Chains A and B, each alone.
Chain A
Amino acid sequence: EIVLTQSPATLSLSPGETATLSCRASQSVRNYLAWYQQKPGQAPRLLIYDASKRATGIPARFSGSGSGTDFTLTISSLEPEDFALYYCQQRNNWPPPLTFGGGTRLEIK
């Protein structure tokens, strides 16, 4: 099973700043990596798929990069609504199993 490790566990920033979230895979997942945002009491929402493709309706301030084992989600000019939990998820060698990272909490400084 491929393990996804997200860092940092918590990121404290102010609105207007840029957030850089990391996801590292225990083995190559090629570019088959997605990012999700989750707010309290809500389901995850797809932000980025296949490492760098923005999902429908996702603002341009969200961008993804990386391939193989190292991936980054960048959120530029943070808006108040961006403070949430973020998860990465891989779908390499699918099905199954696919796996999720443990999450990064983005909080207001």
Chain B
Amino acid sequence: QVQLQESGPGVVKPAETLSLSCSVSGGSISSHYWSWIRQSAGKGLEWIGRIYSVGSTDYSPSFKSRVTISPDTSNNQVSLRLTSVTAADTAVYYCAREKVGYSGTFESWGQGILVTV
């Protein structure tokens, strides 16, 4: 049973960079697609982007200019960086694993981490 755990600072100042990690246990990040999704009161659930294996990425056009998702295979983690944050980036950030063979279907989620800008 795979488990995902988000970590990082709970508070980020405006114009700075938000950096989060997703630790994966019970499975390797080198398989499956791993996404970052956020949830805010204003915009609901928003898909940010995803990574597959050691570097293939896809990003939502809404975030593409500000986001980087990268792997840390030595620690079995997936990282999210979001630059130039504003109050609108205040949200709960989740990492999630896609279901094999059903790209874009999220079968496992972390508990989420609240980030306040």
Contacts and interface: CB of A to CB of B under 8 A. Distances in A.
Interface of A: 32, 34, 36, 42-46, 49-50, 55-56, 87, 89, 91, 94-103
Nearest to A99: B47
6 contacts: A42-B111, A56-B107, A96-B61, A98-B104, A100-B45, A101-B44
B10 to A, nearest CB: 15
A94 B107 contact: no
- Main DSSP-derived SS at the B contact region: strand
Contacts of B96: 43
Interface string B28-65: 00000000000000001111011000000011111000
Given A95-B104, A97-B62, 5 more contacts: A43-B109, A46-B107, A95-B58, A95-B103, A102-B44
Given A44-B109, A96-B61, A97-B60, A89 B103 contact: no
B104 A94 contact: yes
Given A43-B109, A43-B110, A43-B112, A94 B44 contact: no
